[in-house]
Each structure stands twice: as structure tokens, then as C-alpha cells.
Structure 1
């Protein structure tokens, strides 16, 4: 990318070390488009070289110095004039002088701290970038190169299931349960809804993943809710004792880890929203917050003994050929016996559990996929029923169902 301006007579190129083999990540830009950037992690060194190329061979470039900066920055879209920098590192590449030929300058930001993940939302943007500046009297020559940063987390030690009874007094009581409260970005949400009392005519039920972005503070707080995904889990009137399974795959959606009070500027939280609609088009919902985190890729360790193993394998193959003819009959007999054992002992798959998915068993009975999970926090005991919230102005007649939160 070139920056053209008055008096500009050189172009800047930034090359990152190992960029041919470095992973890339897709990052959304401010205008909603997507671009692939080189991916880095917290504490990883950012190094490379800067090439300054003169446009006209034989020309001379006078400058007051050349520098490179590594910047971590938060931009509020409603406050364009102010950029909040939480990282600002500077390296001097060249002192003031004259440049008469193409020049290359190495740089290195060793073990640089990158505490937050890149993010572009409705009202805020967090980015990391390298900025190279050739300082001149009239107009500086500048170039910026963005990089992507991901924050990795370990598996949470305490990951209780979410279990709660919700409903409308004397009209509807349901019990819902999700197998965990913390999920990685490629995880699967498994749950179940059990109807304890049904005295209203329900015709539809759905579950949605809601992203809530909060920026600013005090009177200048902005909240943006975005529906990431929506699933219909029931169509028709349920009956007492009916159980509805839930399974939501997160891998196919553009999700980020949960971000809480990032540099005291913004937060990103996720909720599961359970919505019911009755025959009079009144909608009742209950939201439950979940925590999302990014799981690192599993990498196999390199086998340092591979050359020796290959050489030994070749010798074993040559020796085995001498005994192959005498052992063929025994091998065949063993293969037949092994096949018979496999036929007698088929592998049981998890799909066999689908046969009982429509049973009237409650969630806490034996054989349930949640039986190994710990109980929900004490703040939400099983015997406490939480009211569902009805959306305002969604029905014509209330019929006494306004006793909600």
C-alpha cells in the first residue's frame, strides 16, 4: 500500500519475520468488510524489517529520522477525535540524514504484551498495528500495518451446569438446564427443557444467542444487542411432563470471547435467550448469561527420533519377510477370531440415547447427560421459580398474565 502526498518521494514496506508460515485470522473492518491479518498472541515477539524505497532512482530523500511504533488502540465510533492507546512502544530506525538509495531497517519488539483480543463491534474497535514514520519538514511519510491478536484461555476448573425453574404464576412452570455455564468458541451447548405446569396455550418456542456490547460509562453508556443465532426448538402446544432437548453448535458463528470491562472502555457479554409465544402472540422470555472463551489449537509435538525410527523400521521389514510365509496361517486364524469378537461386541454410540429423549424423566434422574455435573449455584435453588418477562405491546389481551418481572 502506498501513501501519496505532497513532496512524497519514497514508499514504505513492512515485512514480518516468518510471515510465510504464520497463521492468519479473519478480522472485520470498520466498514463491515473482512480482511485476513497475521496472527499473534500475548507475549509473542513482533519483529521484521522495514524497507524504504525511493521512487526515482538517483534522487535524494531528506528526513529528520525514521521510527516504528507498536500501538494497541481502542477507538470509540461516537468519539472519533479521541483514540485511547493502552500500548505504545517506539523504536528508532534511523537518525536524521539523507537517503540516496533503497534502505532496509530491522526491528524487534521483544515479548510485547498484548492483553486484549482484537475486536470490531457496533460502537467500538480494538486494534493492534505497526506504524512506520519517515519524519520530514513538510509532510511525513507514514504507513500502518494491522495485526490480529487472539487471547487463549485454559479449560475452566469450575464449570457448573445452569439449572433454573422459570414461569408465570399459576399459568406456566418450566425447568431448563444447560450442561455448562462456560463454553469455548467451538463448543456445543446441550440442554433440556421440562414442562412442569402448562395452563396457557403455547404455540412456539425458540432459543437465541444474544451478544450485548456495552461502551462508555455513566450517562454516556451505549448498549447494543445483536442476535447471533436463533433456533426453533418447539412448534406446537406442549403438555405437562414433556421434555424438549436442546443442542446448539457454536462453531458456525462469528463469536468472540467474553470481554469484561476492557481497559474500562467496553464490555462484550453473551446470553442464551429462551422465548415462548402463546396463541395471542404474546412473547415471554428469560435470559441466562454464559461465558465464552477461546481454546488453543492442539499441536502434535515433533518426533525428534523419526530418522532413527525409519531406519529401524526398514531393518524390521527385511527380517519380517523371512518369517512371513510361516506366519501367514496363524495370522489368518487370529484375524478370524478377532472379527468374531468384534461382531459379538459392537461399539455403543451416543446416538442410542435419542430413544429416551422424549421420555417424561426429569433432568436429575439417573442416566441423564447432566448427572455428572455439579448442582447450580446456591443463588438459584431448584425450588425457587423465577418469573419470565413479557415483551411490552406484543399482545392484544393480557388475560391476567402481567404478574411478571
Structure 2
């Protein structure tokens, strides 16, 4: 079983190294949707998008932006094409022009969808800066730019046109908002995003609001997860005469995990640290015509379990992820196992007691799980024959099946 688990782990690792395409799609101007994989690129540059239908293929074709109306990756990166009026001025810097008012031009561009709701927020990135656009469906406000620009005023001083603050107050303020709350807003994604998040919440328009990742490219991502659960543990003690039986009990466990998810989103590598308590006792009674012997074998120990391994993620319907993983692990015990022997004969009772110090053990584990919205999840794992050596050739074997609840930050 250990050899099988190791083979699976090596397969996952080697496959992950060759599967760095980013799962995505594009929609043509005629409405045809094509699923496949983008080569890891800057999604803001629609002129250099390379696409293939094979997960690990190398036969990439360049996406023609003229024939595409939308493209994206997974369910959190979306770019849509619009023909809009936009300010062609440079956003800010020491080399801005003297014009205070926007220099309007009509262009067809791809915009990154940041918030999708009754009030939707987009960004457009060019060599002149990142500019934000919005629409409000319930108010019939068509897509238009939130205006901000710096300009060269008199005596080489930098002036600001902050019209976007009034636009936000007029179009996406909540009832009871004071205009002064908008007078200090900065033209930044975070602050503008907060305004749209608040508006979609306070108006209760009935349209589901979805926030998307507005990243320039898909990168590897670190996550931190807390875990808590319970396991069914079968305990056996070996290399002792007479051979004791086994006992099964339910134990509680907790810990944390750090994971690195590769740009494709399909593969992760994780490190997990768990804590558990194991307490079990077995008893054997041997009877002959002249004596009765009772052997009691007890294990009482805490374990620090450290896991490292690969994980395969299968995302479906946007917010749902199934995963499977294997790991190589070490369990460090903080306790002992003991044997108490008592023999009763016609001459009296003879007793003795031995303690055996447990040593660390390496083992393998495999599991499956489910995660919702990249936050809430559950996993089921099985440990393969964890065997701990003690002194005097004593061994303790643990076979565990455990279930953890997960929360990812």
C-alpha cells in the first residue's frame, strides 16, 4: 500500500509540472463559447493570448481579438469587449498635459469585470493608466467612465480633476449617505470597489452580486486553512507475548495547512500540521488449571503529525471544488505504551509493569474532499499502517480514518 501511495504522489507531482496551462474560455462575436486552456500570460494583453483545447497540449493558436467578445479564466477572471467613450489622457504623472477636462475618444476595448451586480464595475488598463468604468442596470445608466485625471496647472503645479467622486455620489450612493463621505475617496480599485460593494448590498436589487479577481495574470497562490475533526483509530500492539487484541476508538484532532496552488488552479502542494491524542487499552486473560494471567496493554500518547504532498483540484460550477491528495508524513509521539502483567496462583499474586517509549514513524496518507467558494470544506483521509517502534522490539500500529472540517482564509 505504501508503494502504491508513493507512486500516486510521484504521478501527481510530475503531472503538475507539465500542466501549467490556465483553464479558460472565449466567446466569439457570434456567441459561440469555446472551452480550453490559455498559456500563462498577461490577460490584460488581448493581442498575445495563446489558447489550446488540450490540457497539456503545446499546439497553441493565437486568439483573434477582432472575433472575440469575451474571454476569461475559471469563474473569477472575465474580460468583456465594449465600444465606449474614454478619456485618452494620461491618468497621472509629471508629464501630464495642461487639459483639465477629459479628451474623449471612441474606442473598442476589452475591460476587466471587477464587480458583477446591479451596479457593475470594470477596469481598462493601457499605457496611460488604469481607468474605471461602471453601469447601473436598475437606473438605466449605461457604461461610462469614472473620470479622474491629473493635469499641469499654472507654475508647473499638478492639478486634479476628481469628477468621479460626484459621479459615485450621484449614481451609486446609499440612502442616507452624506456627500462628504465621497469627497476624500481616492481613485483606487480598493476604495471604488468598496463603494460598489456597499451600494449593491444596501439597495437589495435582487441581482446576485459577484466579485471577481482583477489580476494582471494568473499566479501561484498561497492559502492558509484551519482544520478540526474526528477520527476512528484502530490500535494494535505487537511483538509482545501473549499477543494482545486491538481496540478502536474515536479521537478528536485539529491543525492547520499551508498550500501553494499553481497558476492552472488544478494542482496544489500542501504542508499540514495536525495534533491528536491517542488513548487505548486492551486486556488478555489466560487461564490454566494452576494460574490465571492478566495482561493489560495501554497506549496513552499525543502525536504531532506533519504532512507534505500534492493535491489535484477539480472545479465545477464556479464555487465548487472537489479535490484528491496524497501525502508523505511523519508522526512524532509524546507519550508511551505500557504492559502490566498480573499472575494469580495458589501461592499468591505476582505482578510486574513495563513502559516502552515510542519512536517517530513515517507513513503515507490519501484523501478526498470538497470545498465551497474557496472557503468552507470537508475532507476524509486514511492513514496507511502507522507503526511505531518502542524499546524491547515493542511496536504499536495505528490505522486511522478521519474527517476534518476546513476553513480557508
Given the two structures, how large is their TM-score scaled by the length of structure 2? 0.23
> Which of the pair has the greater relative contact order for Cα pairs under 8 Å at 6+ separation?
1
